[in-house]
Structure 1
Amino acid sequence: MNKIKDLYSRLEKLLSSMKFAVCIISLFTLALIYGTFMESFHGAEYANRLVYKSWWFMFIELCMFISILMAVVVRLPPKKRLYGFYTIHAGLIVLFIGSLFTYTNGIDGSIQIIPNTPSSKIFINRDYAKITFPQLNKVYRLKLPYTASPEDLDTEINGLELQTYLPYAENALEWVERKNFNPALHSSHYQLFNANMSQEFTLSLDPNSDFKSSTKMGLLSIHYMPVILENCMTKESQSNLVIWNLETGDCFTPEEKNIEVKKTPKDSRFLVIDYQGKILKFFPDFSPVAVKDDLTKDPNSPFRILSRNVFEDKPNLFLFGESLAYYQKRKNKWVLKSLKEGPASLPWMGFSLRLLKHDIEKYPVQLPKYVKPVMDNNEIIKGAVTAIKVNYQGQEFWARNDGPLEITNGQDSIRIEIVPEEKKLPYQITLDRFVMNKDPGTNNPASYESYVHLLDGRNTEGIKKHHIYMNNPLKYDDFTFYQSSYFPIGPNEQYGSVLSVNYDPGRAFKYLGSLLIVLGSIWHFLLNRRKKVKKHA
């Protein structure tokens, strides 16, 4: 029993000592400095994950709380000369209690509102994995770790393994070996450049690739085609049509196969192909796909017909892996160029095209790689991707927050989404008007404000109108809505508004604690001053 009392006395002496307090305050100060630097470079959310809401920072705060509490305990019973001291420390304890309420029950999120559309859904900065099994009619929501660095999940749900979580990532280009060799499904990586700019892009015909077979750069439309079409695209023909047999891979012009090009009474060209006893009808100037009798498209047709007339009025570039073709108006002909020996010049704005990589055995994918986020003007410009690596039946996939991942094995399917935590408000906020003021010189946004109305069905007060702008938030039902940012929703500079939402159940405790600290400091000063006056009297 005496040993326990002795141990408690030593522990009490240590926890209430000035040395312990100085050490804890020093660690707390260093952590705040570190968090401030992280916030300035990587954003507030990253600093929260790394520092302010980490277990070690919470442990430092707990030690501070214990130090403050023990400093009061060892000075009991109360003494009049320490009334100010007691009040200061009581204020600090109340402040810690308020912070605890904020941490456990507080809400920090955002709400997106668009004109004339009621909204009541708050998105909170906490990631969830939403996993849907349609055949089982089951939906699972897995809370993801609140961490700033990659973390292993080691979770299995109905045969689906969730392996790694990346809170911040960037998509990196990688080339993956194709299981079944098919030279027609080739992929290429190019560089388009002139004296003023340079841009790289990747195109692929492989259905497993994350890259498409077409893209657009300004007015230039780029089409990635199978190699077998390169000669047909530049063949001279009166019809200016190219017929492509998907089954055999052959291509030819109507003139080569004596296929007649006819016209409707409205002067629309059409072709009829008799294939294995089936009549296939085409209107190539409108669609390369065959049409049925009711004029709906027939995607199962083995033929495609390309009308080169469609691509001659505007800039169009056709790429065939290691070669390219385009229509040159000045010479009124289609030009075919090789990219094997180096860059090929293009007839638009001094541009040239360089082939960086061409592969028939691998296809390009975008695999998430962990990075520390980078912020600029309160917007994340690097590391905006959140990803989860999953394994299903021995095959690895990446689910990202920029769209759902669909996995199927022919019988069962799985849908994986990374979504933020949601909270529904018991009232609705509608954007009436969004106003943006711009700097006259740079045309950059200088300020923006939202005119909204609020409708709460729980009472009979009706619609309440509010004007939200910088330093003038909307406060309602213990929630505070601040003007945060905006997003485009259509042409003619139409915007939606983003309001940051804060709910702080510990605010009253924080105000009370701060008031007690101020009053205690004044009281402590007056008591010490009276003591000094009596001493000198």
Structure 2
Amino acid sequence: MKKIVSFISSMFFTVLLLMMFAISIAYATFIENDYGTDTAQALIYQAWWFELLLLVGVINLAGSVVRYKLINRKKWAILMFHLAFILIIIGAGVTRYFGFEGSMHIREGESTNQVVSEASYIDLKASVNNHEVRNLTKVKFTPNTSNYYKETIEIDGKKLTVENEIFVPNATETSVPDASGMSQPSLVQMPASSGETGLDAFTAIITSGNETRKVNVFGRNGAVSQPEVVTINGINLSIAYGSVVRELPFSIHLRDFQLERYPGSMSPSSYASEITLKDPGASIERPFRIFMNNILKYEGYRFFQSSFDQDEKGTVLSVNQDYWGTLISYLGYFFMALGMVFTVFSKNSRFQKLVRLSSNLQAQRQIVKLFFVGILLSGLSLTSNSAFAAGNSAAKKKHIDAFGELLVQDHQGRIEPVSTLASDLLRKIAKTDNWDGMSAVEFFLEMSANPDKWKVVPLVKVGHPDLAKTLGASGGFVSFRQMFDDAGNYRLNDMVQQAYNKKQTLRNKLDKEVMNVDERVNICYEIFKGDFLKIFPVPNDQRKTWVTSSTFPETAKKEEVDFARNILSLYYQSVDEAETSGNWSKSDENLGYIKKFQRTYGADIMPSSTKISMEIFYNEWNIFGKLAKIYALLGFVLLVLHFMLIFKSGKGLSKYITIGTILIAVAFLCYTLGLLARWYISGHAPWSNGYETMIYVGWATSLSGFIFLKRSPITLAVTTLLAAIILFVAGMSWMNPEITNLVPVLKSYWLVVHVAIITASYGFLGMGALLGMLNLVLMILRNKKNNQKISFTILEVSYIVEMALIIGLFMLTIGSFIGGVWANESWGRYWGWDPKETWALVTVLVYSIILHLRKVPGLKSTFALNSLALVGLSSVLMTFFGVNYYLSGMHSYGAGDPPPIPSGLYVAIVVVIALIIFARRAEQKNGDISDPDDVQE
């Protein structure tokens, strides 16, 4: 018995449980992607064995507390951290078995106290002689599971058994002959091609005494169905399948539903329900406004704004009752965060021990002292990209700048300067930030004012050589006119249709480029037509719509219509004349009329002049594009200098390393200013989409290098290179740098905290991976001549790797659970096993395993730590990229078939495996470097 207890509480068993749990939930995300959420829930998340795994995990945690003597004043921070997870699992169990979720639908002017359950039930009601017995069982039926159900009811001394024979989704009833030739009802699934949506159904076999009946029961998750009634052995039985109705002791009255859209757009900005809570028993009648991230709490129930009716006359509220489950889980989150913080700062923690070990090494070598001074960063010009051709007058430049400040409404309703629109369009058409000495603004104005001239200019980028040859592209560019034959037929028509008809995974590079060129041609066409210039606010329009001159409504006043229809023509004509005469005063005057019209009818939604100027400056600065190159250069040079210092002593190198460090510090300052500028311009934290998250991760990666700079100077070189790679990825064509509006659910302070922490953790984990790879390279290069010096560096970097992984793991864990709080406060569910949050948990488990392996005999070594730090990054990449594009879920960015896996990924896997193998062989040859625990403090 002692051996069993010892094994259950051992670190080896802990690691084994973590691996089983991680593999299970990771596998569940692929089941969900292929077979649906219900199947994943039935097979994994709500399976008995999965709950048993969690229970064993609680026992293991409790046993670890005793085995490792965590009930100790010196270890109270670690004790708090581990007990927190016991609370979290208990809270999840309370939610699972005692919580209730449902929805309430209310029309304007009506009241209701009925909530339809989210879960499905089989509801049995048996009655005999006015005596009724009810059995209500929660079930999860799916087409891909066994769907076993069996219940027995006793009533008036009689037993009645109900079990299911078959479950059919989207079913219909048909007749088939039985063995005697009699017609019997049977269930069949309606074909998907029929376009009909029916109810799900199962066949119930009812047995009582010597009698047996079969009945088909229809129902659906989220809907209350009509019961099937049957009489057997003198018992009247009703069977219902689907959601059930819970009646609340109070009611909700909907006074008004309000939907706000972004100006000139159909995209919702926010929606809210003006309700009145009515509780006659408590003599309460209280008005309340429910909207996203603002919930109603009453009598243990919480009401969330979920959705609304298409006619905008009704609301759908999510209803949640889980007071104790939420309280216990939140308490666990609090203790977890508190334990992690104290674990980092407690003098008896592993993290502080690593700090002391690292400090001891510092005393053995000369520290490179850094002086951060405010110098100008070489190569980082803050000047505008607007390079004007020789001979252009200052008047023209002034007018182009003024045109760039003209406001326009984009397709999502955001008001932005023409500078932003022009920059986005030029990048899409020509894949460049300026054109032949012209700024994006001048380029856009020229195309709008002189369509005929620009239709023959080769400006549409064609990246595929075969397509370029087919179209007769010159220097990789083709003109708009070249895209049509002499008869006016579009030359790409058939190729575009063929490309779109293929599955995404079957599209080759030519197909993708055909689609890209088609998009660029269509953008040119819309510029020539003036479809992008939504610069005229519609007077007295409730939706705050801005339109083009050709779509200005006839219902407006005649003078307003005449102005909008004619001013652009007059303006373009004056621009043409100014190009010849050099006199831009008339153009300035006409542009001033347009801006005055905007101020008169659209001032209430126009951004301030300061924000407009900042956005134009941000566009022209192109800070992140420039920093990608600067970071790559500085990081590479600094890394080379550090390698030279490792293999060859030299005081002169230290001077250049100090200079490089200062330059990187200035670049980081510019990076920070760029992020702050984007935050100010967009009005929300700059990590709400793929592009913004990438540049934020790059910033966090760069910051992590400075945090560990003093302990290992080479860390800054590695993180600078990693930040450069991230910035280059962010600048790729599939990352959209466009500043957009937020959907309602993202307008939450929880978003700012959740995403900031969780994505910042990627910077530390990425740094740990790259430093681990560096150490593997150093292990391969280690020999008898340089053994002492390289071993010293490997050990020093290993301390940084482990500290980085600890910080990254803590931040990722806290950020993930803050995301749970955000979800719970937004729609009443703090953990829904969405693939994104599931893979975030997988990543937490992966790094928990890596950091706990040092406690497993035979697995603690610098080689194991560095190898796993590198391999562990794959879980981060899956969480950040893989889920978004290869798995279904509310966090997914991709739509339809997933894109093919990049071939470079396979190359990277081979390189990593080869690196680990060669490093292991070198370690076996030269001897393993002492484990950090073996170094005396």
Q: Bin the TM-score by the shorter chain.
A: 0.5 to 0.7
- The residue aligned with 1:523 is 342
Distance (whole Å) between structure 2 residues aligned to residue 94 and residue 103 of structure 1: 14
1:506 correspondence with 2:325: yes
1:106 correspondence with 2:103: no
Contact conserved, 2:167 with 2:202, CA < 8 A, in 1? Answer: yes
Distance (whole Å) between structure 1 residues aligned to residue 57 and residue 231 of structure 2: 53
Q: From the superposition, tell whether residues 99 and 396 of structure 1 become closer, same or farther in structure 2 (CA, over 3 Å).
A: closer
Match for residue 116 of structure 2 among 111, 119, 123? 123
Match for residue 416 of structure 1 among 231, 239, 244? 239
Q: Deviations over 1:137-161 (max 9, x none)?
A: 3433223353443214264666865
Shift of residue 496, structure 1, vs aligned partner:
5.3
Q: Deviations over 1:369-405 (max 9, x none)?
A: 699xx9xxxxxx9785243413475542212224332
SS at match of 1:403: coil
- The residue aligned with 2:169 is 169
Contact conserved, 1:153 with 1:165, CA < 8 A, in 2? Answer: no
- The residue aligned with 2:286 is 464
1:139 correspondence with 2:139: no
1:153 correspondence with 2:150: yes
Distance (whole Å) between structure 2 residues aligned to residue 412 and residue 78 of structure 1: 60
Q: From the superposition, tell whether residues 179 and 13 of structure 1 become closer, same or farther in structure 2 (CA, over 3 Å).
A: closer
Shift of residue 44, structure 1, vs aligned partner:
5.0
- Runs of at least 5 residues in structure 1 that lack an aligned partner in the other structure: 1-6, 182-360, 375-380
Shift of residue 88, structure 1, vs aligned partner:
1.2
Match for residue 278 of structure 2 among 442, 452, 455? 455
- The residue aligned with 2:68 is 75
Q: Deviations over 1:177-235 (max 9, x none)?
A: 39999xxxxxxxxxxxxxxxxxxxxxxxxxxxxxxxxxxxxxxxxxxxxxxxxxxxxxx
Distance (whole Å) between structure 2 residues aligned to residue 136 and residue 445 of structure 1: 56
Counterparts in 2 of 1:356-375, with a 5 A limit? 367=187
Shift of residue 166, structure 1, vs aligned partner:
6.0
Q: From the superposition, tell whether residues 70 and 433 of structure 1 become closer, same or farther in structure 2 (CA, over 3 Å).
A: same
Shift of residue 93, structure 1, vs aligned partner:
2.1
Q: From the superposition, tell whether residues 179 and 131 of structure 1 become closer, same or farther in structure 2 (CA, over 3 Å).
A: farther
- The residue aligned with 2:217 is 399
Q: Which has the higher helix share?
A: 2
Contact conserved, 2:31 with 2:40, CA < 8 A, in 1? Answer: yes
Distance (whole Å) between structure 1 residues aligned to residue 238 and residue 86 of structure 2: 48
- The residue aligned with 1:387 is 202
Shift of residue 531, structure 1, vs aligned partner:
4.3
Shift of residue 423, structure 1, vs aligned partner:
3.4
Match for residue 55 of structure 2 among 62, 68, 73? 62
Q: From the superposition, tell whether residues 138 and 37 of structure 1 become closer, same or farther in structure 2 (CA, over 3 Å).
A: farther
Q: Which amino acid aligns with 1:72?
A: V
Distance (whole Å) between structure 1 residues aligned to residue 199 and residue 243 of structure 2: 13
Q: From the superposition, tell whether residues 62 and 40 of structure 1 become closer, same or farther in structure 2 (CA, over 3 Å).
A: same
- The residue aligned with 1:427 is 250
Contact conserved, 1:129 with 1:417, CA < 8 A, in 2? Answer: yes
Counterparts in 2 of 1:171-190, with a 5 A limit? 171-172=171-172, 174-177=174-177
Q: Which amino acid aligns with 2:295?
A: P
Distance (whole Å) between structure 1 residues aligned to residue 91 and residue 246 of structure 2: 22
Counterparts in 2 of 1:475-490, with a 5 A limit? 475-486=297-308
Contact conserved, 1:168 with 1:370, CA < 8 A, in 2? Answer: no
Distance (whole Å) between structure 1 residues aligned to residue 198 and residue 13 of structure 2: 39
Aligned residue pair count: 337
Distance (whole Å) between structure 1 residues aligned to residue 334 and residue 109 of structure 2: 43
Shift of residue 454, structure 1, vs aligned partner:
0.6
Q: From the superposition, tell whether residues 432 and 17 of structure 1 become closer, same or farther in structure 2 (CA, over 3 Å).
A: same
SS at match of 2:243: strand
Distance (whole Å) between structure 1 residues aligned to residue 244 and residue 335 of structure 2: 36
SS at match of 2:175: strand
1:30 correspondence with 2:18: no
SS at match of 2:139: coil
Counterparts in 2 of 1:293-332, with a 5 A limit? none
- Runs of at least 5 residues in structure 2 that lack an aligned partner in the other structure: 220-224, 364-937
Q: Deviations over 1:255-288 (max 9, x none)?
A: xxxxxxxxxxxxxxxxxxxxxxxxxxxxxxxxxx
Distance (whole Å) between structure 2 residues aligned to residue 87 and residue 412 of structure 1: 56
Q: Deviations over 1:436-457 (max 9, x none)?
A: 5689999798975432211123
Distance (whole Å) between structure 2 residues aligned to residue 423 and residue 106 of structure 1: 13
Contact conserved, 2:70 with 2:76, CA < 8 A, in 1? Answer: no
Contact conserved, 2:258 with 2:273, CA < 8 A, in 1? Answer: yes
- Answer with 109-118 or 166-175: which moved more: 166-175
Q: Which amino acid aligns with 1:522?
A: V
Q: Which has the higher contact order (CA 8 A, sep 6+)?
A: 1
Distance (whole Å) between structure 1 residues aligned to residue 308 and residue 59 of structure 2: 44
Q: Which amino acid aligns with 2:217?
A: A
SS at match of 2:292: coil
- The residue aligned with 1:14 is 7
Distance (whole Å) between structure 2 residues aligned to residue 516 and residue 78 of structure 1: 15
Counterparts in 2 of 1:258-273, with a 5 A limit? none
Q: From the superposition, tell whether residues 533 and 406 of structure 1 become closer, same or farther in structure 2 (CA, over 3 Å).
A: closer
Shift of residue 433, structure 1, vs aligned partner:
2.5
Shift of residue 172, structure 1, vs aligned partner:
4.0
SS at match of 1:472: coil
SS at match of 2:110: coil
Q: Which amino acid aligns with 2:28?
A: G
Distance (whole Å) between structure 1 residues aligned to residue 300 and residue 240 of structure 2: 31
SS at match of 1:434: strand
Q: Which amino acid aligns with 1:169?
A: P
Distance (whole Å) between structure 2 residues aligned to residue 366 and residue 439 of structure 1: 51
Distance (whole Å) between structure 1 residues aligned to residue 239 and residue 140 of structure 2: 20
Q: Which has the higher strand share?
A: 1
Contact conserved, 2:108 with 2:313, CA < 8 A, in 1? Answer: no
Q: From the superposition, tell whether residues 406 and 128 of structure 1 become closer, same or farther in structure 2 (CA, over 3 Å).
A: closer
- Answer with 124-133 or 63-72: which moved more: 124-133
- The residue aligned with 1:287 is none
